[in-house]
Amino acid sequence: MIFNVQLFVILLSNHQTMKLRPIEKSKLGTVDFENLDFGSTFSDHMFVCDYANDSWGEPEIVPYAPLQLDPSASALHYGQAIFEGMKAYKDDKGDVFLFRPDQNIKRLNKSAERLAIPQFPEKLFLEGLHKLIDLERDWVQPGTGNSLYVRPFVFASEPCVQASPAKQYQLLIICTPVSSYYNHSEVRVKIADQFSRAAQGGTGYAKAAGNYAGQFYPTKLAMDEGYQQIIWTDAATHQYIEEAGTMNLFFYIGDKLITAPTSDSILDGVTRKSVIQLAKDRGIEVETRQLTVAELIEAAENKTLREIFGSGTAVVVLPIHGFGYKGKDYDIGTPTDALALTLKTDLTSIQYNLTDDPHGWRVKV
Ligand SMILES: *Cc1c(COP(=O)(O)O)cnc(C)c1O
C-alpha cells in the first residue's frame, strides 16, 4: 500500500483554510477522450466538506475515491440529497472558464432550503470550486463540445434512521470529462398525460435527487415506445407544458419564442435564462408564459410551430424533432438555419471565449 503523505494547507479569504492532498499519479494518461461514456470517468481530485455540530468544517481537496458511509446514512433512506451541474470550458489558448458559477451555488442553497439541508457559504463554494478546477485544468479538453462537467452535491450522511432532517452532511464536488451528452441525431419526446414529475407545492424547483428517481420509470416506458424523453405537464391537469427531464423547453411559434415561467414545479435553469437573454439580444420576442398542450398541437397542425428545443448545461441547446401525445405523433423537423442552433452557437461562443461576453457570464479560472 502506498501512503500519500503530501499535504498542503491553502489559505482562503476570511482566514479560512483548506487542505489539499494531491494524487501521486494522474489518471489522465489512461483516459480515452475520444470515447467517453457520459458521467462515468472522473478526474483525479474531489472537493469535500463535512457538516457537523451545526457548522461546515474545513474543506479538503483529496484524490477521487469511494466514500466510507454508514449503512444508516440518512440520505440512503429518506433521500435528503441535492445536486448541481455546471461545466468548465477551455479556449484555444488553453485558458479555462466557468459559466455563471454564482448561479449554481445560489440554486444549490435554494434546493438546500427546500430539503432542510444547511446552507453552504457562497464564497467558500466558489473559492473551493476555483481551486479544484485550477488543479484539474488538464482534464478540460479544448475544442467546442468538449468540457469538464462539474457535479457539486450534498447529502445527509448522519448515521440515523430517524425520519427527520439529519445533523450531519457532506458536500462534494466531483468532475467528469464530457464530449457531448446526446448522440441521437433525431430527438423525439412524449408529452406526459398520466405520470408527473413535480406537483404544486412540491420539490420540482429544487435539484433534489428524488425528483430524478421518480422520472426513471415513466421515462423508461416512453423509451420503450420509441421516445428519448418526456415533456412533463402540470400534475393537476396535464394541460400545461412544464419541462423535460433535465432541460427547460422553448417553443418557436410564429415569430415568438415561448417558454414556461419558472414555478415551484419547474427548475430555474441557468441555460434557460441565458438563452432568453441571447434571444432578446437578437431582437427575438420572448414570451415567458404558460403554453397548453392544445395550443402546441394546434400550432403543429397549422404549421406555425417552427421549432422545439431544450436547454440545459449537459445538452446546451437540443433541437427536438417531434413529439407524441396520446398515441399521435407530430413531426417538426429542424431547418438548417434553426434558431436553436443559432442560439446554441451564441451561447457556446461565450462559454468557449470565442466572442465578447457582454453580460459578464464567463469566469476565468
Ligand atoms: C438541471 C436542470 C435543468 C437545466 O438547468 P441548467 O442550469 O440550465 O443546467 C432543467 N430542468 C431540470 C429538471 C434540471 O434538473
Whether residues 78 and 112 fall in one domain: yes
With bands split at pLDDT 50, 70 and 90, how would you rate the model's confidence at 186?
A: confident
Same domain? For 262 and 174 the reply is: no
Q: Which residue has the cell 434553426?
A: 338
Q: Does 1 reside within a domain? A: no
Has residue 216 been placed in a domain?
yes
Same domain? For 172 and 236 the reply is: no
For residue 341, the CA-to-ligand 1 centroid distance in Å is 19
Q: What is the CATH classification number for the domain harbouring 318?
A: 3.20.10.10
Over residues 63-90, the mean pLDDT reads 97
Selection from 169, 171, 162 nearest residue 53 by Cα? 169
Alpha-carbon torsion, ordered 36, 59, 212, 214, to 10 deg: 140
Residue 166 and residue 45 share a domain: yes
Mutate to test the pocket of ligand 1, among 248, 277, 311 (most ligand atoms within 8 A of CB): 248
- Looking at residue 291, its amino acid is L
Q: Which of 313, 315, 344, 347 to mutate to test the pocket of ligand 1 (most atoms within 8 A of CB)?
A: 313
15 and 136 assigned to the same domain:
yes
**Could you tell me if 201 and 292 lie in one domain?**
yes
Whether residue 173 is predicted with pLDDT greater than 60 in this model: the reply is yes
H/E stretch holding 311: strand 305-312
Domain count, the chain: 2
* Helix then strand then coil, % of the chain, to nearest 5: 25, 30, 45
Domain boundary among 115, 147, 178: 178
At residue 317, the pLDDT reads 94
CATH number of the domain encompassing residue 172: 3.30.470.10
- Do the domain assignments include residue 193? yes
Using CA atoms, how far apart are residues 178 and 172, in angstroms rounded to an integer?
19
Side-chain half-sphere CA neighbours of 132 within 13 A: 33
Same domain, 205 and 171: no
Mean pLDDT of 92-97: 96
pLDDT at 333: 72
State the distance from the centre of ligand 1 to the C-alpha of 239, rounded, in angstroms: 21
User: Does residue 181 carry a pLDDT above 60?
Assistant: no
* Mean pLDDT of the residues in the chain: 94
| Residue-range definition of the domain harbouring residue 269 | 188-364
pLDDT at 110: 98
User: Contact, 165 vs 94, CB < 8 A?
Assistant: no
pTM for the full predicted model: 0.95
- 2 in any annotated domain: no
| Pocket-forming residues, ligand 1, beta carbon under 6 Å | 85, 207, 243, 246-248, 267, 269-272, 311-313
Contact 54, 47 (CB under 8 A): no
